[in-house]
Chains A and B, each alone.
Chain A
Amino acid sequence: MENKVTVIGELMNNSYGRARKAWKNRDVEGYKHLAQLQTELGASYLTLNTDGTQKLSVKLEEMLEFLPTLIPAIQEVTRAPISFDNPHLDFHTEAVKHYDRSKCDGRPILNSISVSRQDVDGMIAIAAEHQMNIIVMASECFKADGRIGAAESVDDVVGVTRHYVGMLNEAGIENDRIIVDPGLAPIASDTQGIINLCLDSIRAIRADPALEGVHISVGLSNFSIGTPQHLRIPLERAFLALATKAGMDWVLANPEKNTEPMAPDETLVQQLKTILKEGRPLEGESKEDAGFRQIDELMELWADDE
């Protein structure tokens, strides 16, 4: 498989200080700068997330009020489609009203539907009517007792993916307009084999004829949270090498960082493979015991620092 990934730039998100500043001042120039910058750095799509964070509270009404100004402004400086990232149906209803399709190359993205989202039907209807791409979060699923829970097995991930892909196909949205996110957890706290689950799920989705042609993406910055600063980008690129080899073709990432997958023969890629191998439970071993072996192996990466 071609080792080149399609990047959704994540900088227009209030988790980033620059985006927060632009949001607080309702500064369209700030947003235009971030849009242009990411486009120049090769992002094919641009996330727009104006939601609240730990450092900022935002009301839905405030977002709805600013969208009519913000969206055309972003479109002035880029032809990269926007990926609208918001859990509220009203946000998407408003966003599409102000989005000029003649000014972008490709389809905008609706981010996202999942089992814990309200208004999934409404979201699908918008994506269908407006010819959008759509992201399916497959890291959550319905459990046997009907409650929602974290996907814990490849079957869980593939099951929920098939469920939504079926619904989307029925609404006229073909597989190549669907981006599946199997969920990526920070490796620093992965005591339950979530990273292995992510990679296994990517392989299983690729092997499933019903899912042929879907795109697969994860939020890459998540991966390195909780590890030493100097290792964060290298670790992300090493993971990208493994994930693209498994069949992932898109990624949500910061285009300012190096978002190229590392060469497969680089030491860190091999080390990461070894770390993840430790996380596979041996016969009769609990997920957690294996998970902590993975953590021990991970810490070896910086054991000689200081």
Chain B
Amino acid sequence: MNESLNQLTTAIKAGKRKDARAATAAALEAGLPPQSVLDALTEGMNDVGVRFKANTIFVPEVLVAARAMQKSMDLLEPVLIASGIEPEFSIVIGTVEGDLHDIGKNLVMMMLKGANFKVIDLGVNVSAEAFANAVAEHKPDLVALSALLTTTMPAMESIVCDLSRIEPPIKIIVGGAPITPDFADQIGADGYSADAASAVELAQKLCANAQ
């Protein structure tokens, strides 16, 4: 593997955003295929996901890794677009109406970006209508809903209910502190995950199955 690609993977793993940016610039200047740069980036984020799940690193390390990834993506994205390489899958994500919590959602979002998903973030306090509009506009492969309060679980249920009427059908995944696999099942969501790393695995699985 090329030296700058190794450096990029290492920089992402360590959350060194300046190194990540420099390595990305070097790789692109050397004329390496943009896909190989993206793969190096994804490899770094995958490693972060694995170590986070195993409790050997913590939330701050994931955040700085995701930010390093973002700095690299800032350079890489235009090149990817120019060469016609787009993220394979896209996902619309948001915290449901009445709920203002975004830490968990943002963590999921960054991990998804690291796994090369195109992420359309609707923010917090998102209505069923806003979700439906985003689905119509962006035609994503998945919609992800977050709720952090028991009081906003009904909002999650009604949003899932509304989105399930959309044609063609859209897959929906849910998560957040009060959400259980049973609840996800009961409201008709297509999947549930307990943490950010599992959310990525779930999203990948559902998208791959849909193909």
B151 touches A87 (CB 8 A): yes
B64 touches A296 (CB 8 A): yes
B150 touches A52 (CB 8 A): yes
Stretch at the interface among B73-81, B84-92, B129-137, B176-184: B176-184
Q: Does A57 contact B (CB under 8 A)?
A: yes
Query: Which of A54, A55, A56, A227 has the most C-beta atoms of chain B within 10 angstroms of its own C-beta?
Result: A54
A236: shortest Cβ distance to chain B, in Å? 15
Q: Does B107 contact A (CB under 8 A)?
A: yes
Identify which of A54, A295, A302 contacts B177 (C-beta below 8 A): A54
Could you give, for residues 162-188 of chain B, a 1 whenever the CB lies within 8 Å of some chain A CB and a 0 otherwise?
Answer: 000000000000001111101100000
Q: Which residue of A lies closest to B98 (CB)?
A: A116
The main secondary structure of chain A at its interface with chain B is loop
Identify which of B63, B100, B180 contacts A148 (C-beta below 8 A): B100
Could you give, for residues 23-67 of chain B, a 1 whenever the CB lies within 8 Å of some chain A CB and a 0 otherwise?
Answer: 000000000000000000000000000000000001111011001
A200–B80 Cα distance when bound, in Å, is 44
**Given A149-B100, A299-B60, A55 and B150 touching (CB < 8 A)?**
no
A228 touches B58 (CB 8 A): yes
B67 touches A54 (CB 8 A): no
Q: Does B161 contact A (CB under 8 A)?
A: no
Could you give, for residues 37-72 of chain A, a 1 whenever the CB lies within 8 Å of some chain B CB and a 0 otherwise?
Answer: 000000000000001111111100000000000000
B177 touches A147 (CB 8 A): no
Identify which of B59, B99, B125 contacts A147 (C-beta below 8 A): B125
Tally inter-chain residue pairs, CB-CB below 8 A: 76
Q: Does B149 contact A (CB under 8 A)?
A: yes
Identify which of A51, A225, A292 contacts B150 (C-beta below 8 A): A51
A292 touches B61 (CB 8 A): no
**Given A54-B177, A149-B100, A149-B125, A298 and B182 touching (CB < 8 A)?**
no
Could you give, for residues 202-229 of chain A, a 1 whenever the CB lies within 8 Å of some chain B CB and a 0 otherwise?
Answer: 0000000000000000000000011110
**Given A52-B150, A226-B58, A295 and B103 touching (CB < 8 A)?**
no
Q: Which residue of A lies closest to B179 (CB)?
A: A54
Could you give, for residues 175-198 of chain A, a 1 whenever the CB lies within 8 Å of some chain B CB and a 0 otherwise?
Answer: 000000000011011010000000
Query: Which of A57, A227, A292 has the most C-beta atoms of chain B within 10 angstroms of its own C-beta?
Result: A57
Q: Does A249 contact B (CB under 8 A)?
A: no
B103 contacts across to A, CB distance below 8 A: 185-186, 189
A54 touches B107 (CB 8 A): no
Could you give, for residues 282-306 of chain A, a 1 whenever the CB lies within 8 Å of some chain B CB and a 0 otherwise?
Answer: 0000000000100110110010000
**Given A52-B178, A54-B178, A148-B100, A292 and B67 touching (CB < 8 A)?**
yes
A147–B98 Cα distance when bound, in Å, is 10
A299–B57 Cα distance when bound, in Å, is 10
B59 contacts across to A, CB distance below 8 A: 186, 188-189, 225-227
B96: shortest Cβ distance to chain A, in Å? 12
B99 contacts across to A, CB distance below 8 A: 116
A56 contacts across to B, CB distance below 8 A: 180
- Name B91-134 residues within 8 Å CB distance of A: 98-100, 103, 106-107, 124-125
Q: Does A167 contact B (CB under 8 A)?
A: no
Q: Does A263 contact B (CB under 8 A)?
A: no
A189 touches B100 (CB 8 A): no
Identify which of A57, A149, A295 contacts B183 (C-beta below 8 A): A57
A86–B37 Cα distance when bound, in Å, is 50
Q: Does A140 contact B (CB under 8 A)?
A: yes
Q: Does A171 contact B (CB under 8 A)?
A: no
A299 touches B177 (CB 8 A): no
5 further interface pairs, Cβ-Cβ under 8 Å (given A54-B178, A148-B98, A188-B58): A52-B183, A53-B178, A54-B180, A191-B63, A227-B58
Cβ contacts A to B, 15 pairs, < 8 Å: A51-B150, A54-B176, A57-B178, A57-B182, A57-B183, A87-B150, A147-B125, A148-B98, A148-B100, A149-B125, A186-B59, A189-B63, A191-B63, A295-B63, A296-B64
